[in-house]
Amino acid sequence: MADAEKKQMAKLPVTLGDIHVNNINQLRKLNETCFPVTYADKFYNEIPTLQREFTQFAYSGGFSIGAVCGRVEATPDPERKRLYIMTIGVLIAYRGRGVGRFLLDYLVKNAEERSDLAMVYLHVQTSNAAALDFYKNAGFENLGKIEGYYKRIDPPDCFLLGKVLRANDNAALPQLAADLGVVKQ
């Protein structure tokens, strides 16, 4: 499908649903389809313990077509925690229909409502131009490259992307980049 055709596709109405121990294998299957990496059991064991406002399925017509999983991470300053987007994925047949943006907006909106969260961030494989454009259009900044981040895919490098949640917290992104070993571009 050409890019022009994708842009003309109508937005898909979706509903959200909780991810829990009884449907975690549904998330596993979705992730196996959406991502070039295989997540360990430890990842799937953690998801049901995370806050619901940061872990949700996207459903359309009763089927899960996407999901977002994020976790709150502590920092030395309890008023400047970080939200890490562990995964956000949409089945390929449903991409370009606003589902990914719906999930991202849901996550960011919930993060902005918390006074203890300073920023949201994620890693994107350096070769994933579509994801890089998606996050750039959503206001995320490319903070630089982390070499050898992925162990079993090529290229193994990723970009660290971040978004400040409050205008008065501009120090959050440079601190994140320093903390996570970003190579300056």
Which of 130, 134, 110 lies closest to 120, judged by CA?
A: 110
> CB atoms < 10 A from the CB of 61, how many?
9
End-to-end, the C-alpha distance of the chain in Å comes to 33
The pairs formed by 74-78 with CB atoms below 8 angstroms and a separation of 24 or more are: 75/118, 78/116
Please, where are the H alpha helices in 35-166? 41-46, 99-112, 129-137
Name 159's bridge partners.
124, 145
Please say whether the beta carbons of 38 and 87 come within 8 A: no
Task: Please report, for the chain, how many H helices and E strands are present, in that order.
Answer: 6, 7
Residues with catalytic roles? 84, 123
